[in-house]
Structure 1
Amino acid sequence: MNQLKCLPQDGIIWGHDILRTVAASLGDYGISRPVIFTVEFLEALSREYIQPGVRDAVGIFVDLPPHVPDFAVQQGLRACMDRGADSIIALGGGSVLDAAKAVSYLHFQQTGRHLPIAAFPTTLSGSEFSHYFGVTETDGPQKFKRSYAVRETAPRLVVLDPRLIVDTPRVLLLSSAIKGIDHAVEGMRKIETDHPHAILAARGVERFLTVLEKWPQQLDTHQAIKRGLVCADDLLELQLAAWQCYFFPASVIYGLSHRIGHVLGGTFGLPHSLTSCITLAPVIRACARAYGDKFEIFCAARGNKTAAAYLADRIAGVVASLELPGRLRTLDFDKAKLPEVAALLESSYPSEVADLGERAGEKLAAILESMW
């Protein structure tokens, strides 16, 4: 049976130089008395573009570490409760968005009401379009990033403007684009190629790769724009690509690349945006049989290569050309921890590991070894 599940999002607004106008109209989307969730690096952006238009904001909360640790979620909830917040403005990347969703959910558990969220994303992973979020549990013998899916936490409004990402550090911005591609590719896991996710995801991946394949080495975004190597339209293309790659997140189930990333990030502290740079291409190759001919939709012309090989090679080539980390060793990950990673994956995500086929445990150990 085919199905399409939609999330309760009221609007997506995109364009150039729209931040001040949209910020002044947030009340039209039920965003009133908000607390602004962000990080210190983005406070200047908030002061210039968001806060002047949001006249009823009740505060700002910036204590949001990566990987959304449970104690930060509790602190964010207290900030909202103490200030009588009725909503959240989330200005930041995936961790800020996940924290806002987690706080909205906990607020519901305590009060019976979710806090609506307006998302101003500064990275390209696409968390702002989904109801998924992860919280890293820190009170046990081993940290673990637990995943949640709560449709009421999907941001009510999403705003896309190149100004949001022009100052995002180069590695974070570009690696989050690979995470966005990961959403498109692994979203194929349980659907067929005629599903709306597949059609939009294929367009999103091509949109991403077309821009990333021309992106200059080493230069930050401001320098690249100043030299005429990329432009503001390219930045908006990346933002729209992230949306297309994650257009129907309630309708898809993700796979082994995501799960490896959750373990590497939540338990071992690796930057979440970087994990797909290391995991996605090897997982595409290793799980090709489980996906069958579904990767064909991402390959307009591949020569003599299989669709999986073509797609994996193209992604790996972009990771290399952008000088993003392609191996765990480049992030100083201890190779001796690989069996621990494998054990967590097998115990927590057996169905995703099973995509590797017969002798999945042996293959998992081998693929993790290849990633190091």
Structure 2
Amino acid sequence: MNHLNCLPQDGIFWGQHILQGAVARLGDHGIHRPMTFTVEPLTKLYQDCVRPNLKQSVGSFMELPAHVPDVAVQGGLDACLHAGAESIVALGGGSVLDAAKAVSHLHHEKTGRYLPIAALPTTLSGSEFSHYFGITETDGPEKFKRSYAVRETVPKVVVIDPVLVSGTPRALLLSSAIKGMDHAVEGMRKVTKEHPHAIMAASGLERFLKVLQKWPPAMATREALDKALVTPDDLLQLQLAAWQCYFSPASVIYGLSHRIGHILGGTFGLPHSATSCITLAPVIRACADFYGDKLEIFGARTAQADAATQLADRIAGVVSALGLPDRIGAFDLDKAKLPEVARLLKKNYPNEVADLGNNASLKLDALLESLW
């Protein structure tokens, strides 16, 4: 039976030059006495556009490293409890948004009340539309990023304005767009081609590619804007693409590309968004039989290639043209660690590994070797 599970989001607002006015009206959506979660590089954006318009603010919390370590989540929870925060404004990328969701969840466990979240996303992964989050556990023999799905933690309000991403470092911004595409593709694992996710994801992935294929090489986003090689509308189109690719997160279950990314990021410290640049196209090829004709939603089979090959080639081509990393070896990770990556995947994500088909365990070893 087909189904669409909807998340309890009150409003999503988008457009150019809307950020300050939307922040001023967050109280209309239950965002009272907010604590702002953000990171130091976004201080100027926070001070110029958010803080002056944020009513009843109880302060900010910036000790939020990548991959959402449990100690940072506890620090954020302590800050909210100490200040008497009644909500969270999350200004940042996926790690900031994950931390906000994690704190809301733990606040409920401690007090019986979730902290509603307003999301001001500065990357393109789409975390602001989902109830998924990860917490990296640091107290065991090895770090492990554990995934959670808590409906009540999805941001109640999302504000999308190109100003939020115009200062995001180039590599982070563009790699997070590939992470957004990962949501589109792997969201097809458990749905049909008629599902709303499929329809929206196909539109979102094309929207991403249309902008990224004309993106200037080796140039900061701000410089590209100043030279009119990129326009604010291009940035808005990327933001809308992220939304379309992650339009039905409560109805989908993500796959092997995501899971490899969780291990490479949470346990071994690779940048979270960069992992999809490495994994997505190869996983599409490796799991083509599992997806079958579903991937034709992103482009029909031709005489030259099947849909999976075409899609993987397009994504790999964009990653290469943008100069994004497409190999694990580009990062400081000893190749001798690959068997440990494989072990953690087989132990924690057997269903996703099974997408590789017969002899999945051996195929996973070969896949990881090829990603080096």
Class of the TM-score when normalised by the shorter of the 2 chains: over 0.9
* 1:12-23 pair list within 5 angstroms: 12-23=12-23
Residue 238 of structure 2 aligns with which residue?
A: 238
Residue 285 of structure 1 aligns with which residue?
A: 285
Q: Distance in 2 between matches of 1:331 and 1:269?
A: 9
Corresponding residue SS for 1:66 = coil
Stretches of structure 1 lacking an aligned partner (at least 5 in a row): none
Corresponding residue SS for 2:53 = coil
**Deviations 1:303-332 (CA, angstroms, capped at 9, x unpaired):** 511100000000000000000000011113
Matched-pair identity in %: 69
Question: Contact 2:301/2:307 (CA < 8 Å) preserved in 1?
Answer: no
* 1:44-123 pair list within 5 angstroms: 44-123=44-123
Question: Contact 2:102/2:135 (CA < 8 Å) preserved in 1?
Answer: yes
Q: Distance in 1 between matches of 2:369 and 2:174?
A: 25
Q: Distance in 2 between matches of 1:114 and 1:369?
A: 43
Q: Distance in 1 between matches of 2:200 and 2:161?
A: 20
Q: CA deviation at 1:230?
A: 1.3
Corresponding residue SS for 1:346 = helix
Corresponding residue SS for 2:158 = strand
Q: CA deviation at 1:223?
A: 1.2
Residue 346 of structure 1 aligns with which residue?
A: 346
Q: Distance in 2 between matches of 1:219 and 1:301?
A: 35
Q: Distance in 1 between matches of 2:229 and 2:41?
A: 26
Give the partner amino acid of 2:322.
L
Q: CA deviation at 1:26?
A: 0.5
Question: Contact 2:300/2:307 (CA < 8 Å) preserved in 1?
Answer: no
Stretches of structure 2 lacking an aligned partner (at least 5 in a row): none
Q: CA deviation at 1:55?
A: 2.6
Question: Contact 2:15/2:236 (CA < 8 Å) preserved in 1?
Answer: yes
* 1:1-372 pair list within 5 angstroms: 1-299=1-299, 302=302, 304-372=304-372
- What TM-score results when the alignment is normalised by the length of structure 2? 0.99
Q: CA deviation at 1:333?
A: 2.0
**Deviations 1:11-52 (CA, angstroms, capped at 9, x unpaired):** 000000111101110100000000000000001101111111
Q: CA deviation at 1:53?
A: 1.1
Give the partner amino acid of 2:305.
K
**Count of aligned positions:** 372
Give the partner amino acid of 2:58.
V
Question: Contact 2:67/2:136 (CA < 8 Å) preserved in 1?
Answer: yes
**Deviations 1:342-365 (CA, angstroms, capped at 9, x unpaired):** 000000000000000111011000
Give the partner amino acid of 1:328.
I
Give the partner amino acid of 1:130.
S
Give the partner amino acid of 1:137.
E
Give the partner amino acid of 1:295.
L
Corresponding residue SS for 2:219 = coil
**Deviations 1:165-189 (CA, angstroms, capped at 9, x unpaired):** 0000000000000000000000000
Q: Distance in 1 between matches of 2:353 and 2:103?
A: 31
Q: CA deviation at 1:205?
A: 0.2
Give the partner amino acid of 2:309.
A
Corresponding residue SS for 2:190 = coil
Q: CA deviation at 1:229?
A: 1.4
Superposition RMSD on alpha carbons, in Å?
0.8
Provide closer, same or farther for how the CA distance between residues 205 and 82 of structure 1 changes in structure 2, counting only shifts above 3 A. same
Question: Contact 2:300/2:306 (CA < 8 Å) preserved in 1?
Answer: no
